Structure 1
Amino acid sequence: MVFIGRTNELAFLESCYHDENAQLVFLYGRRRVGKTETLSHFTQGKSHVFFAAQSATKDEQLAAFSRQMFEAGAPAGKYIAQYSDWNSALSDIANLPATEEGHRLVVLDEFPYLVKSDPSLPSVLQNLWDHTLRHENVMIVLCGSAMSFIEKELLAEKSPLYGRATGILNMLPMPYWDAVKFLPNYSVEDKILAYATLGGIPHYLAQFNPNESLETNIKQHILRRGSALYSETEFLMHQEFRETAIYNSIIQAIALGATQLSDIANRTMMAPQKASTYIANLLEIGVLEREFPVGTKPVERSKGMRGLYQISDNFFRFWYAFVFSNRSDLEFGDIDGIYRYAIEPQMHAFASKPFEHICAMWLRRENMAERLPFRAGDIGRWWSKRDEIDVIATSKTDERLIVGECKFQNKQLAVSVLRALQNKGTQLHGTQQYYYLFSLNGFTAALERIAQTGVSIRLVTARELFD
């Protein structure tokens, strides 16, 4: 399969590789986000050792690492069959044959597995780095999926490796413009629906056949019992948590519209304090996020005022909305019925929130390219007790605003939508407001005529989001 996207991540790794100083790089992110594939692509054409750790004992890990080091030309392989400990194994990195540029590259994938089998490993690496390796032309990449472990145990102040990293990269899901490259033959509408279903996780996107319709792919690769994505969320939840039933109920409650702690607690019949503990764990692994209105002050964020819980992963949101709630019928094999009656009528409504996210990402890209009327400082949603604005962008230096409405529906946007948006905008403080309307199916002629009369109104079609 052709490697897609990750331009910024690869550029970061290349800059580390060509740096004249020794490099100790942490690359981490949630499972399935494409860390291993990105590192494999990065190491192509370079002399390297790529060790993918398993859940195994210390001796088993050392034996496997020894074989790879010796195959790469580590001189100790001439005298011993296996390194006796991690100190001797890692110190031998400096003795690997160097490339023409003098580099020695070693990737330790799923590094947390190594630490689990030998908790002293971070101290061993810290000692070697301080006294030997940081003076050599080496690049060591420590990669892992256990996000909370890496942040709390390896990068935190109490860790032996604290302050040693020369680079730290948290790999995020792909932006929508890269994600849809997995499905190049899809229409713009189906690309948005597919992104709303799968999000920016390469492993999920790769399951879909680009030559099959969206409906066929959903039926065959998500709804069919035995397919990879049918049990994916359960697999990940069991890897991360013990009390999966409780976490399932929380995620489903949010997927069905409960976004405040009190609502989630009521839906799951838990005390708010207990529910908040489980929610905190879901926030740590990147399944949930807490969203605040643009312009919320730090003191309000710290007190949790006005914040809403959302499912940050599109596929989790889809699975809990349509698969988890229809599990009995799907287990029985009623794939066509569930798609026809439960999913198809709701797809556009379901995709409306991911469409808002796409529009916000588009604004960020336009901002970076300096194609907005001003340099934006904050981009996101805004809401009050009585109104909601799909996307706004605020100026860093003055009170100019972009106020946006996003409509993912099968009819053209009319002048009434613009007037409603302008009315909502009166609640916001700003010396000048620009109105951006995003539409799946275009705009009425009357609205287009109004937009042509001034620079404060911009109409953005779904196709333009992919230009």
Structure 2
Amino acid sequence: MVFIGRENDLRQLEDCYRANKAQLVFVYGRRRVGKTETLTQFSRGKSTLFFAAQSATAEEQLASFSRLMFEAGAPAKDYLRQYPNWESALTELTRLPEPPDGGRRLIVFDEFPYLVKSDPSLPSVLQNLWDHTLRHANLMIVICGSAMSFIEKDLLSEKSPLYGRATGILKMTPMPYWDAVKFFPDYSAEDKALAYAILGGIPRYLEEFDPDESIGDNIKRHILRRIAPLYSEVEFLMHEELRETAKYNSVVRAIALGGTSLNEISTHTMIPNATVASYLTNLMELGIVKREFPVTAKIKERAKGTRGLYRIDDNFFRFWYSFVFPYRSELERGDEDGVYNRHIASVLHDFAGSPFEAMCREWMWRESMAGRLPFHAAEIGRWWDRTREIDVMAVDGSGKQAVMGECKFRSTPMNASMLNLLRDRASHTGIEHRSYVLFSLSGFERSLEELGEHDPDLRLVGIDQLFSEI
């Protein structure tokens, strides 16, 4: 399969590789986000030793690494069957034959947390060798892992032996929508938006859909069927990363049903607020849930633990908890056609409304970076008060200018009444200098297009424009 996206991540890794001094780079992110594929792509054309750790004993891990080192020409191959410990193994990195092109050697430890789990002394060993020998060698060492909390708390925090040694830290996030939809080059713009609304920006999920099948057939074949990997993906990840999965299921399901405040989630799950807050923190660390504040909220308000609204930040988790989790009994009997026809087909566009708004906010960031907004945006998000909401809002650093947007993923064109409603809501934000942008799946009525032609403070963005390249 052709490698898609990750240009910025690859560019930053390449900059590290071409630096004058030795590099110790940490690459991490949630499972399925594409770390291994990105590092594989990065390693092309480079003299690379790529070690993929597994869940095994320290002896088994060391034996596998020894074989890899000996195949790469490590001198110890002439007098050892296996390195006795990690210190001797890692010391030999500086004695590997020089690459044929005279360039830098790339060393990748994929799923490094597995190695530390089998031998907790490894970070201290690596720290000692880095301080005394490895940082003087012509090497780039990449430490990669999916256990995000472990990487952040046990390898990068102040208490870790490796604290302060990293020359680069790359946290990989899901693909932006404009890269994600490249998995479906022949889809219409509408179907691209639907596919992204269902799968999000996780490459492993995007690969599961067949670009030659319709959205409906893909949902039935690759999500609702019991044999499909995506059918059990959420449960697998939850069991892999979290304990008390039944309670976490209740929390995520509560958010999927519309519970957005801490009190609402607590009431729905019948779990005390403090306990729910702890669960939400763990889900946020995994990138499954996100806490939102109005885009104009001050730092003091954002610091309050009980404030903000929670939403599912992973599109596929949101789909799974909306349409797989509640209908498991029917799906276990093989009734994927019935579940799709009764519960999904008629509401799929409504479901896609929230991800479509997120796409529009990403588009706004892209426009800001390209200098196509009236100002450089300092914040982009949603805005709301007790009775009003604005889907997309970009504000400048002073908080005195804003671009405000309304998003509609519907089968009918937008009309002038929606602009009037947006202007009315905008008048309650306290921001004087305002311009507007309307996003629509199905275009705009002619009267609204005429307004856009004559009003410099109004932009109309159709679905095709969201997928146009910069």
Q: What interval of TM-score do these two structures reach, taking the shorter chain for normalisation?
A: over 0.9
> Equivalent residue for 2:200?
199
The one-character-per-residue Cα deviations of 1:389-420 (angstroms, maximum 9, x if unpaired) are 00000112461110100000000000000000
The one-character-per-residue Cα deviations of 1:280-338 (angstroms, maximum 9, x if unpaired) are 11112111111111011111111135401111110000000000011000101111111
Query: Which residue identity lines up with residue 7 of structure 1 in the other structure?
Result: E
> Equivalent residue for 2:45?
45
> Equivalent residue for 1:87?
87
Residue pairs, 1:156-171, within 5 angstroms:
156-171=157-172
Query: Which residue identity lines up with residue 186 of structure 1 in the other structure?
Result: Y
> Equivalent residue for 1:256?
257
1:277 Cα deviation from its structure 2 partner = 1.5
Does the CA contact (< 8 Å) of 1:93 and 1:104 recur in 2?
A: no
Query: Which residue identity lines up with residue 276 of structure 1 in the other structure?
Result: A
Residue pairs, 1:177-216, within 5 angstroms:
177-216=178-217
- TM-score calculated relative to the size of structure 1: 0.99
Does the CA contact (< 8 Å) of 1:114 and 1:121 recur in 2?
A: yes
1:181 Cα deviation from its structure 2 partner = 0.4
The one-character-per-residue Cα deviations of 1:220-260 (angstroms, maximum 9, x if unpaired) are 00000111100000011111122111111111111111111
Higher mean Cα deviation, 410-419 or 268-277?
268-277
- Paired residues in the alignment total 467
Distance 2:297 2:390 in 1: 14
Query: Which residue identity lines up with residue 15 of structure 1 in the other structure?
Result: D
> Equivalent residue for 2:423?
422
> Equivalent residue for 1:62?
62
> Equivalent residue for 2:366?
365
> Equivalent residue for 2:467?
466
Does the CA contact (< 8 Å) of 1:293 and 1:306 recur in 2?
A: no
Distance 2:138 2:161 in 1: 22
> Equivalent residue for 1:130?
131
> Equivalent residue for 1:13?
13
> Equivalent residue for 2:382?
381
Does the CA contact (< 8 Å) of 1:288 and 1:311 recur in 2?
A: yes
- What is the percentage of aligned positions where both structures have the same residue? 60
Does the CA contact (< 8 Å) of 2:184 and 2:192 recur in 1?
A: yes
After superposition, the CA RMSD in angstroms is 0.9
> Equivalent residue for 1:112?
113
**Secondary structure, counterpart of 2:144 in structure 1:** strand
Does the CA contact (< 8 Å) of 1:48 and 1:72 recur in 2?
A: no
**Secondary structure, counterpart of 1:207 in structure 2:** coil
Distance 1:117 1:359 in 2: 45
Moved over 6 A (4+): none
- TM-score calculated relative to the size of structure 2: 0.98
Query: Which residue identity lines up with residue 432 of structure 2 in the other structure?
Result: T
**Secondary structure, counterpart of 2:230 in structure 1:** coil
Query: Which residue identity lines up with residue 8 of structure 2 in the other structure?
Result: N
1:161 Cα deviation from its structure 2 partner = 0.2
> Equivalent residue for 2:291?
290
> Equivalent residue for 2:236?
235
Query: Which residue identity lines up with residue 67 of structure 1 in the other structure?
Result: R
Distance 2:428 2:399 in 1: 17
**Secondary structure, counterpart of 2:378 in structure 1:** strand
Does the CA contact (< 8 Å) of 2:405 and 2:422 recur in 1?
A: yes
Query: Which residue identity lines up with residue 150 of structure 1 in the other structure?
Result: I
Does the CA contact (< 8 Å) of 1:74 and 1:96 recur in 2?
A: yes
Distance 1:374 1:281 in 2: 36
**Secondary structure, counterpart of 1:158 in structure 2:** coil
Distance 1:19 1:79 in 2: 35
> Equivalent residue for 2:346?
345
Matched, 1:404 2:405: yes
Does the CA contact (< 8 Å) of 1:62 and 1:83 recur in 2?
A: yes
**Secondary structure, counterpart of 1:226 in structure 2:** coil
Distance 1:435 1:169 in 2: 35
> Equivalent residue for 2:142?
141
> Equivalent residue for 1:30?
30
Does the CA contact (< 8 Å) of 1:94 and 1:104 recur in 2?
A: no
> Equivalent residue for 2:3?
3
Structure 2 residue runs without a partner (length 5+): none
Does the CA contact (< 8 Å) of 2:46 and 2:105 recur in 1?
A: no
